[in-house]
Each structure stands twice: as C-alpha cells, then as structure tokens.
Chain A
Amino acid sequence: MTAELVRGQNHPLPETRLEIRVSVGKPIVAGATLSDDRGKVRGTDWVAHPGSPTLPGLEVPRQAAADHRLAVDLGAVPEAVHRVNVLLALPVGAGGPVSFGSLAAPFVAVTGLDGTEVASYTITDLDAESAVVALELYRRHDAWKVRAVGQGYAGGLADMLTDQGLPQAHELAGAINEAVARGLARSVAAPPPRPPDEARVRATGQTAAGPAGPGPESAAAPQPVPAPHQPGDASGTTGGPVNYTHPGRQTSAPPPPPPAAAPAEPGRAAQPVAGDATGWSMEERLYNQVWGMFEDLARATAAYRSAVDFAESRMDQELDKVLSDPRSRIGNTGDLAREAARTKHGLLVDRARDALDRDLDQLAAESGVVEPALPMAFAGWDSPVWHAYRTPMEIPMALRLGDLHLPERPDLRIPMLVRLPLERGLWIDSGRSSGTDTLADTDQLRRLAMDSAVAHAARLLAVYPPGEFTVHVIDAAGAAAGALSPLVTAGVLDGAPAAGAAGVSAVLAKLTQRVDLVQMAIRAGAADALPPDLDTAEQLLIVNDFPHGFDDRAVTQLRYLADEGPAVGVHLMLVADREDAAEYGPLLDPLWRALLRLTPVADDHLADPWVGHAWTYEPPMVPPGSRVLKQVLDQVAHARRTGGR
C-alpha cells in the first residue's frame, strides 16, 4: 500500500533494495548525497551526480531528464552513512526554467524492485528554489525509514551542498552543472516552440501564391512566442501534464485589454474609441461595439419618441378640457389656457430634443472612429480596406449587409452586421415596396435587385477563405446576364448560370442531394463517410426571377433548401417579387418568412430587437465609378484558380 507523505512525515521501508522514481515534466538533474550520523557530507565522493553516477549502493542517472529512476541498495552503503538525501536540481544555463515555481509540482516515489510503490511525495509550495532535497532515507535502530523533506534552496546546488557541510560545495556544484550541460548537449534538441500561426497552414501556401509581396500574415509571422509556450511553462512539449489548450485558439492567454475611452472631463461625455467593448479579439470587440451603438441609438430614439408622444397627448387632453369647459368661452381665458398647453408641449419637446441631440452627437462621434477601424467584412465598399484586399485566412465573425438609420438622424448610419455562417437565407425584393412608388419602373428595380444580389454574393465570396464558399446561380430566363457579368467574367462561380427548366432542376437536385448527404452524415456521426468529391465549402444559391422556370417539384425543393439548408451550409439568395409568385397562394408564405428581406433601394422595413423601431435599410453601394468590386473578384478568382489554400 502506498503512503502519500506530507512534508516531514516518515514511513518505514520494508526492504533495502529500492528504486526512487522522480517525475517533474521538464528535464531536471537528480542526484543523491550520503551523510553521516551528524548530517555531514564527508567529501565529494559521498555525492552521486551525473558526473559521477555510481557510489556503493547507489546509482543515479547520467543526465537531466523529466523522469528519473534512482537505484538504491541500502544494505551496500558504507556503515558510516546514516542518511541518503535524494536531491533534485534544475540544469543551469540550458535555457530551461530557473526555478521550481514555474514547474509542475515534482513527484517522487519510493518503490520496490517489483515496482510496487512504498511511499510517494508531491513537493508542493516550491517557488524561487532551483535545488531541492526531496527525500531522505535514514537509519533508525538498524532499520531504514524514508522521510519527505522538500527543503528547497534558492541558491541552487552550491547552497544545498554547503548546507550539508561539504567543504568543496561550490567546486562540486560547478562540476555537476558542467556534467549536466555536457549531457544535454549530447541529447536531441527539443523541438522549437510552435510559431503562433502554425495552425493556420493555409497562410504559408497563400503568401507563396499571392501575387504581390508579403501579405499581412507573413508580416505577422516573426511575432514573439505567445505566452502559453514560454519556457518554464508546465504546458510545454516535453512530457509533463497534458496540455489542453487548442493549438489554433489562444483563449488560454487573456486577450490584450480593449482600448478604453479616456476618462471624461466632468460634465462632458468621454471621447469614443474604436473597439471599446468586450471580446477576445478586436473583431469581436468591434462587432459588440457596433451592436452596442445599434441598441443605444434604438433606445435613445425610443426615449425621445416616448417623450414627444407624451407631450402631444397631454396637450391634446388639455386642449380638449379647455374646449369642454364653458368658462373658457368667456373672455380670453380659453386662449390663455390653449397658449399655456402649447407652451408646455413645446418646452417638453425641446428638452427631449436636447437629450436626443446629446446622445446622437455622442453616437455620431463613436461612429466616426469605429467606421474607419472596421475590418473588411464589416466595412462598406467605400472603405480603404477593400482596396487593400487580400484573400482572408479565416471566416469572419459577421458580414455587413448594409446600413441602418432612423429618420431622427439620417446621416448616422449603423452597420447592419449578421453572423456568419448565415442563419437565414436572403430575399432581395425586386418588387415595388411602399416606399419606392416614386422610383423607377419595374425593370429598373429588377436590375437594381440583381445588382445588389451580385454585390452581396461578391462580398461573401471575398470574406471567406478561398475555396470555402461556392456560389451557384439559377437564372432561368437568362434575364440577368448583365448584372451577373462581374461574377461570370471573373470566373468565381461554380458553373455558368443555370438556365431553363432543366438547369433549374439540375442545380436544385445537386444541392438537395448535398443537404441530404450531410444531414445523414451528421445524424449518423459519420462525417468521414461522405463521398470524397463532396464540396465541403458553404454553398450559396442565387435564384433570379423566382418562380420563373420553377415547377411544383422545384418549388418544393427550394422550400426544402430554405428550411434545412442553413444548418448544413447551404444558403439561399432569392431575387424575387412576391407578386410574381402570387399564384402559389399561401403555400409560399413560410418561404418568404424564413428569408431575411433586403431591398435594392433604401426602405424602412427592418425592426430592431429591442424597441421595434422601423429602420431604413440601405444596401451597401459600390461608389460610382469605383473598380473595387472587379479588383476584389479578380483576386478571389486568382486564389481559387491557384487553389490558394
């Protein structure tokens, strides 16, 4: 039976031939000293160490290691020896840890020759020590016992040996360290720590294939080794405790603190800073900050509208009261009362407007610093980051689908960010909506709708790593050839836009089959059973002019894709006028509801999740005359061709 010793505790030893096992997790030196009945080490020949590993009855390892076995035959040690001290020390000058405090607690066990443990001891509470006496085996009335010592020495071996009364302590300590260093030099070098983005293997291939100069990834490569892999950390590579950290995700180290707004002067709001929100990365912080601005704008406006509504209803009530009061018909009391009611209304509305302006000015200032800081996927087409486009390595957290604003301050735009992968399909409404009656004829609207669908699709293609997003197009009548030309000429589509009823059913069949296969694989937990030619990328299906070219079967398949697709990475983008599909009646209502409706022109059809204001949505516009879309698509196509993984 094993005795787990605590510091100072002793335990009888049943045999004299024993093995002492040491396990630390990092290479250390193990040795032993013999001392007489007064606890004194009589000379250097009473010390077993890597430079002189054997003494009568004692053998210690020749070099530093994470695990050691020391052989002891207590019957064979000289009569004058009353104590055997088992010591551990850190190798000096090998670039390893300099104190036991940075290691896992050393574990030592005394075992019989058959491996049964007699006693074990975990040396806790070590800090700055670089050498420690772990155990002592001592004679007591002609029997041997073991005691857990755990005495550490910050001065290393030299201090320890001096403490044990050895006159040549310093010389011997130097000799031991030299022997250890020789031993380490012989051994195989430990692998270098992982570079921070080694897990992102695609980075290397990408920069090699990239058309121009070193990209941001290669520039970031020679970063200092991240905190989890610093030398001396117990989570290193050579044995030791299991390292549970995900190699590609560095959540074990706390993220750098977010930029916080400087403390405000009294009576004035703080100067806003981009990224002033919680999150593990700047991207997440900006995402949270944008949502915070969205909520604050919704709520500040709600406060203003509520105050104005109240002021108006109170004024109406007061005016009614004046009307119904017969006394007000005499003289000018009625006029005075009416005047008073209007003044009260005006005062309250003014105060509400002041409060709103204060809030909106603060949000506008925040928007002014946040917009330029937004990464590609969150930024508008006019942002300079799109001109510096490079194919990304990672799927971004979210995508900007457009801008949102309220009538109180139309120039204060909130980016509309949706999480990726898309949770709902998109419906680009090419029909006339309430707000657009003044604008354009139907054909123009359809063209605008298809243009904005192409812009959304291009953005999705651009923010996904090459090869991880595939776009299919159904254009049954071929009516959108003009709008689709940026995608077609750049060659970023999976195939030519499908035309005619046959094309429609072929594309739908292919995607339906993919949804079925992936669903089956997920349910059966057999992702490796998927056919090897299955495209694992996310799929986007753009359907122009729905339901043109669709029969009942195709419509059913489309509804199936809309319901089941998002969970397995198949997304819909329907460009359609609901009126065109009116003949299907209520059958298609669930389809429309399942999709996120976007408009090709500004329209106030979106509601926020907090107060439910009607927000005006504006699609992301490529600035007129800008070639940014073409440049981006060319790079995407290049990366796809060169297999830029």
Chain B
Amino acid sequence: MTVNMTKGQAISLQKDDGGALTAVRMGLGWQAAPRRGLFGSRTREVDLDASAVLFADKQPIDVVFFKHLVSDDGSVRHTGDNLVGGAGQGGDDESILVDLARIPVHIDQIVFTVNSFTGQTFQEVQNAFCRLVDETNGQELARYTLDGGGQYTAQIMAKVHRAGAGWQMTAIGNPANGRTFQDLMPSILPHL
C-alpha cells in the first residue's frame, strides 16, 4: 500500500495493528545522467542530497546530511552520499534512517529535505522520487515524484513530529531553491 500524499496531508505513524512506528527511512532515488561520448567523466552528473534537520521548539539542534552522517545522539543515520544517482528503477540511492525510540526527548520535529547539489532543476532530472518507508516492515508510507517538478532545485518533503507519546508524519512537499539544507532554512521555518 503506497500513499501518494498530497500537500499538507498528515498521517499518524501508527501501524495498522495499532503499534507505534519505531523506525522510518527516507529514501531518495534518481537516474544517473547518461554517459557522454569519449570523455565520459565529463558527463554532467546529477547529485541530489537528502538531509534531515532535527528541531527542538523550532530551533535547529542537529542536522544529518552528507557531511554529518550520524546525528550526535546516533538516532538518525545517513547511509552515505551518492554523487551520481542510480539506475532509476525505483531503488533508493540515498537513505536516512531514523530510530524514533532513541531520538532525544527535546527533539520534537524532524524535517526531511531534498536538494540538487549540482544545480539541475527537478525538471532536468530523470526518474527522481523520494519516499518514506516504515523500516520495520518495508512498507512505503509516502512517495513523491520529483522529476518534471518545475524550476526548483530543492524540496521540503515532510516532517515527522511528536504527537502525544508517538510520532506523526505530515507531508509538506513544498518546492524551494538551494544547494544544501542551509539554504532551505528560511523555507523550512514556516512549516514547523
């Protein structure tokens, strides 16, 4: 079951059997640019980056991205930077794993973003998508198709936030522009 979430839609991160979610993964996949002629290394590679920003009371506390792969507390882990993309067959090229049970008590929101580090807009990227997966059973919770998305180089994808004792996810899906998550901070803050 895949939920193609619409903007602003909130879903509670509870499993169908009522148990709370304990681990989610944000996956990002895109198709590598086709090789160019003789000097293949001069292909204009497409490098998309997934980031997660951890907020406490609307203040950024920690961030997980390609230069800081594990949050200080160890609860959010980036599996590593992919600079060129993959086959475009729907597999994740970058992943961020979130262990919800281990997130420090003061962190109340985590925002996931996607940036185009090499500057191509989503219009120029082939077969790009990002999705949120329940890590415990591999079920897809939400999916966005990024390609053909217009003249944007970034997207604020979704946020996971505390609701009572558990966690809830809200789809944001807001396009933005920027090279890394720092450029997105002004666009993120209104969504907190």
Contact = CB atoms under 8 A, between A and B. Distances in A.
B56 A310 contact: yes
A336 interface: no
B91 interface: no
Contacts of A327: none
B106 A352 contact: yes
B42 to A, nearest CB: 37
A303 B75 contact: yes
A303 B56 contact: no
A295 B72 CA distance: 10
30 contacts: A296-B74, A299-B72, A299-B73, A299-B74, A300-B74, A302-B72, A302-B73, A303-B74, A303-B105, A304-B104, A306-B61, A306-B73, A306-B104, A306-B106, A307-B104, A307-B106, A310-B57, A310-B59, A310-B106, A311-B106, A314-B57, A348-B105, A348-B106, A351-B105, A352-B104, A352-B105, A352-B106, A610-B70, A610-B74, A611-B72
Contacts of A303: 72-75, 102-105
A365 interface: no
A306 B74 contact: no
Interface string A275-312: 00000000000000000000110011011101100110
A310 B104 CA distance: 11
A521 interface: no
A208 interface: no
A299 B62 CA distance: 13
For chain B, give the interface size range. 10 to 19
Contacts, number: 49
Given A299-B73, A306-B62, A310-B56, 12 more contacts: A295-B74, A296-B74, A299-B70, A299-B74, A303-B103, A306-B61, A306-B73, A310-B59, A352-B104, A352-B105, A610-B70, A611-B72
Most chain B CB within 10 A, of A300, A304, A306, A314, is at: A306
A355 interface: yes
A204 to B, nearest CB: 47
Contacts of A348: 105-106
B72 A306 contact: yes
Nearest to B72: A302
Contacts of A351: 105
A34 B59 CA distance: 91
Contacts of B57: 310, 314
Which 6 pairs between the two chains have the least Cβ-Cβ distance?
A299-B74, A303-B73, A303-B104, A307-B106, A302-B72, A351-B105
Interface residues of A, number: 18
A590 B102 CA distance: 41
Interface in B47-91: 56-57, 59, 61-62, 70, 72-75
Nearest to A347: B105
B63 to A, nearest CB: 13
Interface in B96-141: 102-106
Contact of B61 (A296, A310, A610): A310
Contacts of B74: 295-296, 299-300, 302-303, 610
B106 A355 contact: no
Contacts of A306: 61-62, 72-73, 104, 106
A311 B57 CA distance: 10
A416 B45 CA distance: 43
B156 to A, nearest CB: 23
Nearest to A298: B74
A299 B103 CA distance: 11
Interface in A335-394: 348, 351-352, 355
A43 to B, nearest CB: 65
Nearest to A348: B106
Contacts of B59: 310
Contacts of A304: 104
Contacts of A611: 72
B37 to A, nearest CB: 40
A302 B104 CA distance: 9
A345 to B, nearest CB: 11
Contacts of B56: 310
A355 B104 contact: yes
A315 to B, nearest CB: 12
Contacts of A610: 70, 72, 74
Nearest to B62: A306
Contacts of B61: 306, 310
Contacts of A355: 104-105
A348 B105 CA distance: 7
A303 B73 CA distance: 5
Contacts of B70: 299, 610
Contacts of B105: 303, 307, 348, 351-352, 355
Contacts of B103: 303
A349 to B, nearest CB: 9
Interface in A125-159: none
Contacts of B73: 299-300, 302-303, 306
